[in-house]
Amino acid sequence: MLTTILEFKAKIGLVLAVLVVGYCLCLWQPERQVRLHQRHMLDAAQKRDWGKLNAFLDDGFRTSGGHDKITALQDLNEVLRPFFALQILDSQTVTTWDGDAGRVRTILRIDGKGLPLAEMVKSAVNESKEPFVFTWKHAGWKPWDWRLVRVEHPLIGLATEHASAF
């Protein structure tokens, strides 16, 4: 009787271990990881959590306007600062692969309230027909270790010029 119970517990343990391993393998698929990182990065930007946002960006990060990690975060802070309430929405998202890099092309929209400058930012982003292109690269041996290496959009260079004008 005791051996039957122990065998039953061992089988249950084995089934649970297989389920956990299967779940992890599914969760750690590159495409899923890039989509999760993309969503969490947008959430961090929406909350203006600069420490968390900094952790998503690779040290070699660049924008299409030629800015590095530090200046990009400073510019984003300037652009989002006039918002009292902010929501960043993405749509028409397409993920593609090029070697060990994943690209996320998505239309971003901003909703929120703030100072007049916030309304200008919101109008510029929401009227743009061009998608933002985020390039993610696998950064280490861990399957969940992805870093944002590039962001491309025509408004990126304009945002910097206008932010410095104020």
Judge whether 6 lies within some domain: no
| Segments forming the whole domain that contains residue 103 | 30-165
Judge whether 5 lies within some domain: no
User: For 155, phi and psi rounded to 5 degrees?
Assistant: -75, -15
pLDDT, position 25: 45
By percentage, how much of the chain surpasses pLDDT 70? Answer: 81
pTM for this model (two decimals): 0.80
For residue 120, what pLDDT band results from cuts at 50, 70 and 90?
Answer: very high
Q: Which range, of 20-24, 47-51, 140-144, averages the lowest pLDDT?
A: 20-24
* DSSP-assigned beta bridge partners for residue 109: 89
CA distances from 94 to 41, 105, 131 (A): 16, 5, 10
Judge whether 16 lies within some domain: no
Judge whether 19 lies within some domain: no
Judge whether 2 lies within some domain: no
Q: Does 11 or 36 have the greater pLDDT score?
A: 36
* DSSP-assigned beta bridge partners for residue 112: 86
Task: Show the tokens assigned to 103.
Answer: 């690209």
CA distance 117 to 110: 13
What's the total number of domains in the chain?
Answer: 1
pLDDT, position 89: 95
CA distance 33 to 35: 5
Instruction: Give yes or no for residue 98 having a pLDDT over 60.
Output: yes
Judge whether 131 lies within some domain: yes
Judge whether 74 lies within some domain: yes
CATH number at residue 101: 3.10.450.50
Q: Does 117 or 165 have the greater pLDDT score?
A: 117
Average pLDDT over residues 88-115: 92
Judge whether 12 lies within some domain: no
Average pLDDT over residues 114-137: 95
